[in-house]
A and B are shown apart, each in its own frame.
Chain A
Amino acid sequence: MTVDARDKVTRCVVVHWPDWSVVAAGALPGQAVAVLHANRVVAATPSARADGVVPGLRRREAQRLCPGVVLLSHDPERDARMFDPVLRALEQTTPLLEVGSPGHCTFATRGPSRYYGGDDALVDRVVDHVRSALGPEYLSIAGSPSVGLADGSFAAGLAASHAAGLANGTFIAGRASADRALLPPVPRSRSSGIVVPPGQSSAFLAAFPTSVLADQDGIDARILSLFPQFGVRTLGQIAALPRSDLAARFGPAGLVVHRLASGLEARPPLARRPPPDMSVSCPFETPVPTTGLVAFAAKQLADEMFERLRARGLACSQILVTAQTDHGEQHERLWRHEPAFQPVTVAERVRWQLDGWAASGTNAPTAGITLLRIAPTEVFPATGQQIGFWGGQSNADDRALRGIARLVGQLGAEAVHVPEWRGGRNPSQTIALVPAASTDLIDRDVGIPAASGSAASSFPGGPWPGVLPPPSPATLWKEPMPIQVQDEVGDAVRVTGRGFVSAPPVTVLKGGCAPFRVVAWGGPWPLEEHWWDPQRYRRCARFHLLLDDGSAHLAVIEQGAWRLEATYD
């Protein structure tokens, strides 16, 4: 095979934590913790993984496999915030970092490696910097980073996750045990880093199973499932196939598979750099002190940049964000997002970068921002988007998305939420609100089981024995309202341990108002939850109360105290 300019690869370091989301949430490796997004597990601690909790599982499946698992909701802002000290530490080593997602970053080794005296020394230095940045108490949570150094970001990334697998005794988490027999020889392993010698990337990759390609963008899982059927089990076997045959059989995806398997980048580097007029900048007349306002401007800048890119039929997967202050301080960072950036994701990265800069202690800016520049550093031809004939993104969707971005810019990401189904026995638990800024809003699956979405069913779907059937209350009191419920002679109504009511409720006293008479009532419906967990253990009884003013309520008695939980209005 001839080596041309298209096959040149950059030698780079990948610093990687598997399951950064649980690390950012502060979970110790020994605890069983999983992070959920849209009712699906996205990350889990080694202890939870040992019980079979892997990404993609539903909440209930995870709880069934590992009853003690602590479930947290996914918060990309938190992930980015916690990752920032690591980025600051790495910036001591290299001027320009490329951040993919929180928990994963890359930089080119050419300069730093020569400066520190070789690849091994560089990996040492990176690990030391990161360990000192994390501090001892946080290091016990995060553990050492896994570092991979190789030609090409795919090989380096694989080396890093392989290093992580060696460190905690599992080969690349979640893979079938049959893969373990194919473990490649480790070229040169350090405490928590693997260095692949120059020019050896394809040899390093050769022994990996084809399944490691599954997480790469642009590769269809259906294609990967075909390789074992052809008897092709390792990346080396793929690389040995003629490139043209793969392209003929699988189209562009086949080319990507071949390029990655032979240690190249997924896309050949563009022959020419993106023209300079693609970058957009926004000087502020008066220095802007708050991140929110700059992020709002970033959204408009991003819109402008995408307008220019679109005019040339380009999409962009890597951007360089530069911010300058009134005192001449400058902060720049590369961001990568696969398959391509959207204006909203650009604005989000700008906010992450500026928040991180503001929190960086001695290096923090001392004045307001005066200039923001966004430059696309890696562009490729946009393959376009086929708009569906039925459904798909409509004009109303576009308008709403713009409005949501504007509201997020005005009020902050924590004020704008979209509902998501969680399931539960109380109306207040069933639907949770998640930040709209970090959710993909188009054709979103809220996750409501079909049975409860349709008005015709009498019980919400899903295994929630003890849930109150519809209709549900339209008002859920955020702060439960304490009430007093009395029987005929004025004694407080109680519920016995066997679930019997001491006397029929007759009057209800709500803070300061004249007493209400109970017209009709139903219950008690006892509820005992989390009996395995002393902290969350909860035992209560629920009642329907219809009062003489016509209002209907869901009342709860817990440890002898009554409160209104919800109102049917």
Chain B
Amino acid sequence: MCSLGLVAMAVVVALAEPTVQRGDAALLARAVQLSRPVTLAGDHVLPTHPIFAPLFPWGGLQRGTVVAGSGLAARSLLLALAAGPVAAGAWVAVLGVPSLGLLTASELGLPLARLVSVDVDAAHGAAALGAAVDAFDAIILGPAFLRGSEARRIQARARERGTVLLAAGDPGMLEVDTSLTVTSVQWHGLHDGHGRLRARQVSISATGRRAAARVRRLALWLPDNDGRLSLVEDAVVPLRATS
């Protein structure tokens, strides 16, 4: 939209300029440059719950990247991350994680109508992942089953197709762009012989390559007493970038 306006402006400028009679090459070149389709950085990012924005330099899951989760609450964290795109209309495939609790996914806001679970063994892992990369916007992957060359090929394809790979557990030979580590977990509601697991406070640290190299930290309730995601109010979060 913006670029269209600029083109119009460039053309108007070009026409209004009395010195431009027949083909001022420099000005036309400028008009061409202005009218080139622009892909905004926001188009490359899958929308996640706004609470996760501080973890990523782009404010969400960048398309075509590999995000690995590790630590005690990693599975819940990856499901909560995938919930945003899927709620917005994307599809998610779960490859090689038969034990994943899908009720949890639903409680974290992930609509199960657009989730597909694929049982796959090491022999067919690469072929299945190759097919899934073409079709889904996000893929939750089980522990590594890719050899080096296959991993590189599939990662290149994911980058081209804009598919986010969420590795639950060991990412194996995949090159991880953002690695999320749950550094501490604190459960609330369960006591010595009474109560139940009710709310969980987690601290997450994110590191990665290039723009994401700086360590980012976040403390949040996953979930809080009302079953929602929320920030831990009194947490001391060092070096947190505010947007």
The reply to whether A418 and B117 form a contact with Cβ atoms under 8 Å apart is: yes
Q: Does A446 contact B (CB under 8 A)?
A: yes
- Given contacts A410-B124, A569-B72, are A552 and B187 in contact (CB under 8 A)? yes
Of the candidate stretches B36-44, B128-136, B173-181, the one touching chain A is: B128-136
CB distance from B81 to the nearest CB of A (A): 13
Q: Does B102 contact A (CB under 8 A)?
A: yes
Indicate which residue in B72, B98, B117, B198 contacts A478 across the interface (CB closer than 8 Å): B98
Measured in the bound complex, the distance between the Cα atoms of B104 and A404 in whole Å is: 23
Q: Does A502 contact B (CB under 8 A)?
A: no
Which chain A residue lies CB-closest to B79?
Answer: A474
- Given contacts A404-B135, A458-B227, A568-B197, are A544 and B75 in contact (CB under 8 A)? no
The reply to whether A399 and B119 form a contact with Cβ atoms under 8 Å apart is: no
- Given contacts A419-B115, A471-B107, are A521 and B100 in contact (CB under 8 A)? no
Which chain A residue lies CB-closest to B92?
Answer: A400
Measured in the bound complex, the distance between the Cα atoms of B103 and A566 in whole Å is: 12
Measured in the bound complex, the distance between the Cα atoms of B111 and A397 in whole Å is: 14
Note all chain A residues with C-beta closer than 8 A to B197.
471, 522, 544, 546, 552, 568
Which of B90, B127, B193: most chain A Cβ within 10 A? B193
Q: Does A387 contact B (CB under 8 A)?
A: no
Indicate which residue in B75, B107, B115, B124 contacts A418 across the interface (CB closer than 8 Å): B115
The reply to whether B101 and A544 form a contact with Cβ atoms under 8 Å apart is: no
- Given contacts A400-B136, A456-B227, A544-B197, are A520 and B75 in contact (CB under 8 A)? no
Q: Does B118 contact A (CB under 8 A)?
A: yes
The reply to whether A470 and B107 form a contact with Cβ atoms under 8 Å apart is: yes
Indicate which residue in A394, A403, A416, A569 contacts B74 across the interface (CB closer than 8 Å): A569
Indicate which residue in A403, A418, A445, A476 contacts B135 across the interface (CB closer than 8 Å): A403
CB distance from B219 to the nearest CB of A (A): 15
Q: Does A475 contact B (CB under 8 A)?
A: yes
Indicate which residue in A410, A418, A448, A544 contacts B131 across the interface (CB closer than 8 Å): A410
Q: Does B76 contact A (CB under 8 A)?
A: yes
Q: Does B89 contact A (CB under 8 A)?
A: yes
The reply to whether B72 and A550 form a contact with Cβ atoms under 8 Å apart is: yes
**Which residues, 511 to 543 on A, are CB-close (under 8 Å) to B?**
520-522
Q: Does A453 contact B (CB under 8 A)?
A: yes
The reply to whether A569 and B75 form a contact with Cβ atoms under 8 Å apart is: yes
Measured in the bound complex, the distance between the Cα atoms of B116 and A444 in whole Å is: 12
CB distance from B112 to the nearest CB of A (A): 4
Measured in the bound complex, the distance between the Cα atoms of B2 and A96 in whole Å is: 63
- What 1/0 mask marks residues of chain B from 185 to 213 whose CB sits below 8 Å from any chain A CB? 10100111111111110000000000000
Note all chain A residues with C-beta closer than 8 A to B192.
504, 520-521
Which chain A residue lies CB-closest to B78?
Answer: A474
- Given contacts A521-B192, A522-B195, are A402 and B104 in contact (CB under 8 A)? no
CB distance from B75 to the nearest CB of A (A): 4
The reply to whether A474 and B100 form a contact with Cβ atoms under 8 Å apart is: yes
Which chain B residue lies CB-closest to A457?
Answer: B227
CB distance from A410 to the nearest CB of B (A): 6
Interface of A, helix, strand, loop or mixed by DSSP: mixed
The reply to whether B194 and A522 form a contact with Cβ atoms under 8 Å apart is: yes
Note all chain B residues with C-beta closer than 8 A to A522.
190-191, 193-197
Which chain A residue lies CB-closest to B222?
Answer: A471
The reply to whether B135 and A406 form a contact with Cβ atoms under 8 Å apart is: yes
The reply to whether A444 and B196 form a contact with Cβ atoms under 8 Å apart is: no
The reply to whether A471 and B200 form a contact with Cβ atoms under 8 Å apart is: yes
- Given contacts A396-B89, A402-B135, A444-B113, are A566 and B101 in contact (CB under 8 A)? yes
Which of A399, A455, A478: most chain B Cβ within 10 A? A455
Note all chain B residues with C-beta closer than 8 A to A544.
190, 196-197
The reply to whether B115 and A455 form a contact with Cβ atoms under 8 Å apart is: no
Note all chain B residues with C-beta closer than 8 A to A444.
113
The reply to whether A416 and B72 form a contact with Cβ atoms under 8 Å apart is: no
Which chain A residue lies CB-closest to B118?
Answer: A416
The reply to whether B72 and A445 form a contact with Cβ atoms under 8 Å apart is: no
Q: Does A138 contact B (CB under 8 A)?
A: no
CB distance from A465 to the nearest CB of B (A): 16
- Given contacts A403-B134, A472-B104, A552-B197, are A477 and B99 in contact (CB under 8 A)? yes
Note all chain A residues with C-beta closer than 8 A to B112.
418-419, 421, 431, 446, 448
The reply to whether A551 and B72 form a contact with Cβ atoms under 8 Å apart is: yes
Interface of B, helix, strand, loop or mixed by DSSP: mixed
- Given contacts A399-B135, A546-B187, are A468 and B120 in contact (CB under 8 A)? no
- What 1/0 mask marks residues of chain A from 425 to 445 whose CB sits below 8 Å from any chain B CB? 001001101001000000111
For chain A, the count of residues having a C-beta within 8 Å of the partner chain is: 59
Indicate which residue in B89, B117, B128 contacts A394 across the interface (CB closer than 8 Å): B89
- What 1/0 mask marks residues of chain A from 397 to 413 whose CB sits below 8 Å from any chain B CB? 10110111011001100
Q: Does A214 contact B (CB under 8 A)?
A: no
Q: Does A237 contact B (CB under 8 A)?
A: no
Measured in the bound complex, the distance between the Cα atoms of B108 and A488 in whole Å is: 38
- What 1/0 mask marks residues of chain B from 57 to 89 whose CB sits below 8 Å from any chain A CB? 000000000000000111110010000000001
Note all chain A residues with C-beta closer than 8 A to B93.
403
The reply to whether A469 and B76 form a contact with Cβ atoms under 8 Å apart is: no
- Given contacts A504-B192, A569-B73, are A475 and B116 in contact (CB under 8 A)? no
Q: Does A417 contact B (CB under 8 A)?
A: yes
Measured in the bound complex, the distance between the Cα atoms of B132 and A399 in whole Å is: 10
Measured in the bound complex, the distance between the Cα atoms of B196 and A520 in whole Å is: 9
The reply to whether B118 and A471 form a contact with Cβ atoms under 8 Å apart is: no
Q: Does A452 contact B (CB under 8 A)?
A: yes
- Given contacts A406-B131, A475-B75, are A431 and B113 in contact (CB under 8 A)? no
The reply to whether B124 and A411 form a contact with Cβ atoms under 8 Å apart is: yes
Q: Does A367 contact B (CB under 8 A)?
A: no
- Given contacts A475-B99, A476-B99, A544-B197, are A415 and B74 in contact (CB under 8 A)? no
CB distance from A331 to the nearest CB of B (A): 29
CB distance from A53 to the nearest CB of B (A): 27
The reply to whether B75 and A469 form a contact with Cβ atoms under 8 Å apart is: no
Measured in the bound complex, the distance between the Cα atoms of B116 and A416 in whole Å is: 7
The reply to whether A400 and B114 form a contact with Cβ atoms under 8 Å apart is: yes
Q: Does B52 contact A (CB under 8 A)?
A: no
Q: Does B47 contact A (CB under 8 A)?
A: no
Q: Does B30 contact A (CB under 8 A)?
A: no
Indicate which residue in B107, B117, B136 contacts A433 across the interface (CB closer than 8 Å): B117
Measured in the bound complex, the distance between the Cα atoms of B115 and A156 in whole Å is: 42
Which chain B residue lies CB-closest to A436?
Answer: B116
- The 13 sampled A-B contact pairs (Cβ below 8 Å) are A403-B131, A407-B116, A414-B119, A416-B118, A416-B119, A418-B115, A419-B115, A421-B112, A458-B227, A468-B196, A471-B227, A522-B191, A544-B197
If A400-B136, A472-B103, A550-B72 are given as contacts, then 14 extra A-B residue pairs at C-beta distance below 8 Å, sorted by A number, are A406-B131, A418-B112, A419-B115, A419-B117, A431-B106, A452-B107, A455-B107, A470-B227, A473-B104, A520-B190, A520-B195, A522-B196, A546-B197, A551-B72
Residues of A at under 8 Å CB distance from B?
Answer: 394, 396-397, 399-400, 402-404, 406-407, 410-411, 414-419, 421, 427, 430-431, 433, 436, 443-446, 448, 452-453, 455-458, 468-478, 501, 504, 520-522, 544, 546, 550-552, 566, 568-569
Rank and list the top 10 A-B pairs by shortest CB-CB distance, nearest first. A403-B135, A400-B91, A474-B75, A455-B227, A472-B103, A520-B190, A446-B112, A474-B104, A444-B113, A472-B104
